[in-house]
Structure 1
Amino acid sequence: MINTVSIQGIKGSFHHIVAKTYFGDAVVIDECLSFDTLVDNLLNKKSDVAVMAIENSIAGSILPNYALIDKYNLHIIGEHYLDIQHNLMALPGQTISDIKEVHSHPMALLQCKKFFKNYPNIKLVEDKDTAETAQRISENNLKGIAAIASKTAADIFGLDILAESIQTIKENQTRFVIVKTKNSVLDESEINKASLRFELDHKRGSLASVLNVLSDCRMNLTKIQSLPIIEKPWQYSFFVNVTFTDYENYKKARTILEIMAKEFKVLGEYKNGKL
Structure 2
Amino acid sequence: MDLQELRKKLDEIDPKIVELYEQRMDVCSQVADYKIGTGKKVFDPAREKEKIDTVKGLTHNDFNRTGVEELFEQIMAMSRKLQYQKLTEAGASGRLPFISINSIDKKTCRVVFQGAEGAYSQAAMFKYFGEGVHNFHVDTFRDAMIAIEEGAADYAVLPIENSTAGIVSEIYDLLAEYENFIVGEQIIKIEHCLIGLPGAEIKDIKTVYSHAQSLMQSGKFLSDHPAWRQISMKNNAFGVQKIAEDGDKTQAAIASEYAAKYYGMNILKKGINKSETNSTRFIIVTNQKVFLKKANKISIMLEIGNEVGALYHILSHFHYNHVNMTRIESRPIGDRNWEYRFFIDFEGNLADSSVKNALRGLREEAKSLRVLGNY
Q: TM-score, normalised by structure 1?
A: 0.91
Greater alpha carbon shift after TM alignment, 102-111 vs 119-128: 119-128
Paired position in structure 2 for 1:260: 365
CA distance in 1, matches of 2:227, 2:168: 32
Match of 2:255 in 1: 149
Q: Where has structure 1 moved over 4 Å in runs of 4 or more?
A: none
Q: State the match for 2:182 in structure 1.
A: 76
Q: Partner amino acid for 1:48?
A: D
The answer to whether the 8 Å contact 2:190/2:279 transfers is yes
Instruction: Determine if contact 1:99/1:122 at 8 Å carries over to the other structure.
Output: yes
Q: Match for 1:254: what amino acid? A: L
Matches for 1:8-157 after TM superposition, within 5 Å? 8-157=114-263
Over residues 159-217 of structure 1, what are the superposed CA-to-partner deviations in whole Å (9 max), with x where a residue is unaligned?
A: 12111110122222222111111122422xx1211001111122221211121110122
- In 1, the alpha carbon distance for the partners of 2:358 and 2:327 equals 16
| Alpha carbons of structure 1 residues 26 and 224: separation in structure 2 relative to 1, 3 Å | same
CA contact (8 A) 1:87 1:150 kept: yes
Secondary structure, aligned partner of 2:292: coil
Question: How far off its partner does 1:132 sit?
Answer: 1.5
SS at match of 2:331: strand
Match of 1:233 in 2: 337
Matched residue pairs, number? Answer: 268
Given that 2:291 and 2:374 are in contact with CA atoms closer than 8 Å, whether structure 1 keeps it comes out as: no
Identical pairs, percent: 34
SS at match of 1:207: helix
What is the aligned partner in structure 2 of residue 211 from structure 1? 315
Post-superposition offset of 1:67 = 1.6
What does the per-residue CA deviation read over 1:120-170, in whole Å, with 9 as the maximum and x for residues that have no partner? 343322233211221222233222211110011011011121111101222
State the match for 1:273 in structure 2: none
Residues in 2 aligned to 1:241 and 1:64: alpha-carbon distance in whole angstroms:
17
| 1:186 corresponds to which of 292, 301, 306 | 292
- Counterpart CA distance in 1 for 2:196 and 2:114 is 23
Could you tell me whether the CA contact under 8 Å between 1:192 and 1:247 is conserved in 2?
A: no
Structure 1 residues 138 and 185: alpha-carbon distance in aligned structure 2, compared to 1, 3 A threshold: same
**Take 1:159 and 1:240, find their aligned partners in 2: how far apart are those partners?**
41
Shift of 1:8: 1.0
Partners of 2:296 and 2:374 within 8 A in 1 = yes
2:23 match: none
Shift of 1:59: 2.1
The separation in 1 between residues aligned to 2:341 and 2:281, in whole angstroms, is: 21
Residues 218 and 244 in structure 1, CA contact (< 8 A), matched pair in contact too: no
Higher relative contact order (CA 8 A, sep 6+): 1
1:164 match: 270
- Deviation string for 1:52-90 (max 9, x for gaps)? 111222222222211211211111101112221110111
Structure 1 unmatched runs, 5+: 271-275
State whether structure 2 residue 326 is matched by structure 1 residue 222.
Answer: yes
Given residue 155 of structure 1, which amino acid in structure 2 is its aligned partner? Answer: K
Give the secondary-structure state (helix, strand or coil) at the position aligned to 2:268: strand
Q: Give the CA RMSD over aligned residues.
A: 1.8
In the TM superposition, what is the alpha-carbon distance from 1:34 to its structure 2 partner? Answer: 0.7
For the residue of structure 1 that corresponds to 2:369, the secondary structure is strand
Gaps spanning 5+ residues in structure 2: where?
A: 1-104
TM-score (norm 2): 0.68
Partner of 2:306: 202
SS class of match (1:114)? helix
SS of match in other structure, 2:219: coil
Distance 1:231 1:135 in 2: 37
